[in-house]
Amino acid sequence: MKLSLVLPIYNEEENIVQLLKEIKEAMLSLSLEYEVIAINDGSKDKSLAVLKEAATEDKRIKIISFKRNFGQTAALSAGFDHATGEAVIPLDADLQNDPKDISSLLDKLSEGYDIVSGWRKNRRDKLVSRKIPSWIANYIISKTTDVHLHDYGCTMKAYRREALQEIKLYGEMHRFIPAIAVWHGAKITEIAVNHRERGFGKTKYGISRTFRVVLDLLTVKFLTKYLTRPMHFFGGVGIFSFVLGTVSFIAALYLRFIGYATLIETPLPLIGVFFCLMGAQLVLMGLLAEMIMRNYFESQGKPTYMIKEKINF
């Protein structure tokens, strides 16, 4: 087996040398050919210079340097696209992930799983700004996607390369790879990994990240459940809106006939008009989404199903 290690790097000049040293030491005990794909995500410090020096000494270190900072998802996507190993393991470059866990992840992957997700069980981060928002986000993601993991935010995961081939990453979707992969038929599990305190540099994430996660989750939920039937989503909400509008009209007429209030003395007629119009718009949006979906699949010759294997064809 060949292993690809993917390192997204943004302003980590103080950690790179130590990280590469620990990776080399961890790989000594494994009889594997491996490569390290380091993605310089527009670093403003000396990260690129440190990487270039390391690459001249070890040809297994490959560098992709972005023109500017595009974010962790783009960096991981570039690493996955250029990985040549049968197994792919991304790691954070801040030394909080422990390269010694590579062996455990690969052992679990060899049991037949497509993805082995790392779980920072004893996480060494601040409680209020990092751990609590992470717990909340992981709970919401697990409940929404029905893919139950303790730690979606852990970068250190082991992937079979074929499990990543059908996944295209946009925005900040990298944390949702397990949920998207399961939709594609991947088999996933989770193991505890070591997590260490950050020794050098500053964290690139804040509490605002939690809110972006929730917004991205809506996209993932739609893509994994309604991509091939958007009318079921928009039409369902539209019909519900129509029902609310109709109930508002009936309530207004009832109040009028019992002499409690005239139609101009209650906001119910306006509420009814609002919900009926919104329902009509949602149904039309569903029709447009259906046409876009068909164009997406038919113009590119994409099937609406995924085959695991064929026999005697």
User: What pLDDT is stored for residue 209 in this prediction?
Assistant: 62
User: What pLDDT is stored for residue 176 in this prediction?
Assistant: 87
Residue position matching structure tokens 């491996």: 34
Q: How many residues in total does the chain contain?
A: 313
Please list the ranges in the chain whose pLDDT falls under 50. none
User: What pLDDT is stored for residue 279 in this prediction?
Assistant: 92
User: What pLDDT is stored for residue 27 in this prediction?
Assistant: 93
User: What pLDDT is stored for residue 207 in this prediction?
Assistant: 57
**Host H or E run for residue 16:** helix 16-28
Q: Using H for helix, E for strand and C for coil, what is the string for 165-233?
A: CCCCCCCCHHHHHHHHHHHCCCCEEEEECCECCCCCCCCCCCCHHHHHHHHHHHHHHHHHHHCCCHHHH
User: What pLDDT is stored for residue 202 in this prediction?
Assistant: 67
Residues 159 and 75 sit within 8 Å (Cβ to Cβ): no
Residues 110 and 209 sit within 8 Å (Cβ to Cβ): no
User: What pLDDT is stored for residue 220 in this prediction?
Assistant: 81
User: What pLDDT is stored for residue 33 in this prediction?
Assistant: 94
User: What pLDDT is stored for residue 276 in this prediction?
Assistant: 93
Q: C-alpha 20: how far from its chain's center?
A: 26
